[in-house]
Amino acid sequence: MAQAQRITPRAKDFSEWYNDVIMQAELADYSPVRGCMVIRPNGYGIWELMQRALDDMIKASGHQNAYFPLFIPQSFLAKEAEHVEGFAKEVALVTHTRLKATGKTGAAAVTPDPESALEEPLVVRPTSETIIYAMFAKWIQSYRDLPLLLNQWCNVVRWERRTRLFLRTTEFLWQEGHTAHADEADAEREARLILGIYRTFAEEWLAMPVITGVKTESEKFAGALRTYAIEALMQDRKALQAGTSHNLGQNFAKAFEVRYQTAAGDQEYVWNTSWGVTTRLIGGLIMTHSDDFGLICPPRLAPVQVVVVPIWKSDEERAQVLATGEQLHTDLQGAGVRVTLDARDSVKPGAKYFEWEARGVPLRLEIGPKDLAAGQAVGARRGGGKAPLSLNGIATTVKGMLDEIQAALLAAARARREAASIRGVSKQQFIEFMRDQGGFAYGGFCGDAACEAAIKEETAATVRVLPDPEFRSPEASKTCMWCGKPSIAEAVWAQAY
RNA sequence: CGGGGCGUGGCGCAGUCCGGUAGCGCGUCUGGUUUGGGACCAGAAGGUCCCGGGUUCGAAUCCCGGCGCCCCGACCA
């Protein structure tokens, strides 16, 4: 048997490997517009499954979906000081509403019609806080209108200097939740509730273990009081911020005059939260699980969970094998399994194996004449392991295997993360760890932004989160790992995407 | 915006140093034989060599200018 060829034999580094996986799995492609991404059916299928699952969770916790405009008056963005500071450098602007034909062709064919210049330019939303809170101001009058719990699925545009497929594209798809509450405690509860949902979603659906916690001042969202995040560790030992939930305090309420009358008759500003996850999650999924043969997709998010590959020699065998294959397809589909029968006769079975492996399909069922005679199919798991499976009750068997694969992926990812984590390091160990290996380093932190900046300067590592109790070290250091001053909290450090 | 690399059929590349008929592999199409880990044979289609200028009898190749993409930094989901 020929040695299996890896899809990325020439990949020199992780980035190259990452791009190869995306291309080979047909998840996405570059678009004619720099930094924008075309999401292909295989990648979009994953996104749709994510949307469905997360949308269910968001609604189950009392939120409703709504939709707000793509365009935001430029002045809206400027109403909250930190917010405008954070986004001004990366917004796309609409300044005209018409083009004028010049009579030429090519690049000079059209020019913005000066007659159509907008009095006030519109920004293409980089996030929707401003336009949503402008509407909240209209909708909220009384404490009886609170809490207001909304979510929207949409696209946003951020003109980043440098882009990376899925991780940072000029335009990306996301879900952004926006809520208004009567008091700080309720807003805080909401921000925490969503963080928990994100964590559950990441672990149960993406099979991507995350640590939760709060961001430092320097890493928080522009305009927030506090930012909470889920942070995952990729196979190259770099961290990925996979979702954020912000307690916005009353910053936006004050900027947009979102007030309500209390039961006692007083006028109070509301407390807001906002939270989101993006198509970046697909990048996280890829970098958490895949290997040199291509994508490894957790079964619950696999657009195709099972591929049936028939094998035959004669026409007679072909007819028999295909008949069984179709039956198998019907049975699995009936059992709620996303299954494809690859009946192409111009491609040999081996070629099909590689193709579906690169696309991340978790389980392959091979059926040939020998299997028909034995009343079985050969089940091959993505990532290794082949075993004959009886055709009797195969749908149940398959569902069980998909569950096992899902669980195994999470366990493997968690084991990798823990193997790449160190606790209670000295300054010197920390420097060497970040230089030679990378990963999550837990250590005491004085809370001083200057200390944080110095660490970033010297090691390229940033505070990912000040972890929640569950993730803290049993014996957290009492002093700052860097400067030795008293520690205000344990911090998780890593080099990050 | 700095540093590095690269632009040649759909994809991946050679050819560039040293100017002389534009090539290879994969893919595609046709026909046939094949089909338990990337099939084989025969035939065929497919190219403004990133763009503009210059040098030259002659430019993918040399010179000048531009554009674009990828990677590494800074900014960020």
DSSP-derived 3-state class of residue A261? strand
Greatest CA separation for chain A = 85
pLDDT-derived band at A12 (thresholds 50, 70, 90) equals: low
The pLDDT tens digits of the residues spanning A205-230 come to 999 999 999 999 999 998 999 999 99
Q: Structure tokens of A370?
A: 């020998």
Nucleotide nearest to A4 in CA–C1' terms: B37
Helix (H/G/I), strand (E/B), else coil: A44: helix
Q: Closest by alpha carbon to A382, among A366, A405, A411?
A: A405
pLDDT of residue A72: 96
The mean predicted confidence, pLDDT, of chain A is: 93
CA atoms within 13 A on the CB side of A395: 14
> Which pTM does this prediction carry?
0.95
Residue A199's closest CA among A471, A418, A400, A401? A471
Give the tens place of pLDDT for each residue, A21-66.
Answer: 998 899 998 887 888 888 999 999 999 999 999 999 999 999 999 9
Cα first-last separation, chain A: 40
The arithmetic mean of pLDDT across residues A337-342, rounded, is: 97
Determine the pLDDT at residue A384: 84
Residues 233-252/A with CB within 7 Å of nucleic chain B are 241, 244
Instruction: Determine the nucleotide nearest to A276 by Cα–C1' distance.
Output: B77
CA of A8 to C1' of B5 (A): 19
pLDDT of residue A162: 86
* Nucleotide showing the shortest C1' distance to residue A5 CA: B38
pLDDT level of residue A292 (50, 70, 90 thresholds)? confident
- The gap between A455 CA and B16 C1' (Å) is 46
Q: Is A250 exposed, middle or buried (0-12, 13-18, 19+ CB in 10 A)?
A: middle
Chain B positions under 7 Å from a protein CB? 1, 34-39, 68-77
DSSP A169: -
DSSP secondary structure letters along A325-374: HHHHHHHHHHTT--EEE---SSS-HHHHHHHHHHTT-SEEEEE-HHHHHH
Please check the confidence at residue A303 and state whether its pLDDT lies above 90. Answer: yes
User: What Å value separates CA A174 and C1' B12?
Assistant: 34
For residue A107, name the pLDDT band (cuts at 50, 70, 90): low
Q: Averaged over A106-121, what is the pLDDT?
A: 83
A378 strand B contact, CB < 7 Å: yes
∠ CA A212-A474-A185, nearest 5°, is: 40
Distances (CA, A) of A73 to A69, A79, A118, A130, A248: 10, 11, 11, 9, 21
Assess whether pLDDT exceeds 70 at residue A8.
no
Can you give the distance from the CA of residue A134 to the C1' of nucleotide B75 in angstroms? Answer: 28
Q: What is the CA radius of gyration of chain A?
A: 26
Is the distance between the Cβ of A359 and the closest atom of strand B smaller than 7 Å? no
What was the pLDDT predicted at A100? 84
**Minimum-distance nucleotide, CA of A127 to C1':** B77
Q: Percent helix, strand, coil in chain A (nearest 5)?
A: 40, 30, 35
pLDDT at A104 over 80: no
Contact yes or no for A477/A487 (Cβ under 8 A): yes
Pairwise CA distance, residues A167 & A255, whole Å: 31
Strands A363-367 and A306-310: parallel
Summarize the confidence of residues A296-313 as an average pLDDT. Answer: 97
Identify the residues numbered 149 to 208 in chain A whose C-beta atom is closer than 7 Å to any atom of strand B: 158, 160-164, 167-170, 172
Confidence of residue A6 (pLDDT cuts 50, 70, 90): low
Angstrom distance, A111 CA to B52 C1': 22
CA–C1' distance A133–B62 (Å)? 62
Distance B36 C1' – A207 CA (angstroms): 32
Å from A250 (CA) to B50 (C1')?
Answer: 53
Supply the pLDDT for residue A9: 42
Max mean pLDDT range (A11-20, A48-57, A95-104): A48-57
Q: What is the pLDDT of residue A326?
A: 96
CA distances from A57 to A62, A190, A198, A204 (A): 9, 14, 9, 12
- Report the C-alpha gap between A194 and A182 in whole angstroms: 18
Rounded Cα distance, A206 and A302, in Å: 10
- Structural contact between residues A270 and A277, judged by C-beta atoms closer than 8 angstroms: no
Is the C-beta of residue A38 closer than 7 Å to nucleic acid chain B? no
A110 Cβ contacts chain B strand, under 7 Å: no
Predicted pLDDT at A108: 65
Residue range A102-122: mean pLDDT, rounded = 81
What is the rounded distance in angstroms from the CA atom of residue A124 to the CA atom of residue A238? Answer: 31
Task: Please state whether strand B lies within 7 Å of residue A311 at its CB atom.
Answer: yes
User: Does the pLDDT at position A300 exceed 60?
Assistant: yes
Q: Is the pLDDT of residue A14 over 60?
A: yes
Q: Which residues contact A265 (CB under 8 A, 6 or more apart)?
A: none
Q: Residue A464 has what pLDDT?
A: 96
For A18, A35, A36, A37, the CA distances from A32, given in Å and listed in that order, are: 20, 9, 8, 9
Question: Which residues have CB under 8 Å from A377's CB, separation 6+?
Answer: A308, A328, A365, A366, A367, A371, A388, A389, A391, A394
Q: Residue A344 CA to B6 C1' — how many Å?
A: 37
A347: the nucleotide nearest its CA (via C1') is B35
Average pLDDT score over residue span A449-460: 92
By CB atoms closer than 10 A (0-12, 13-18, 19+), residue A182 is buried
Tokens of A84: 């405008």
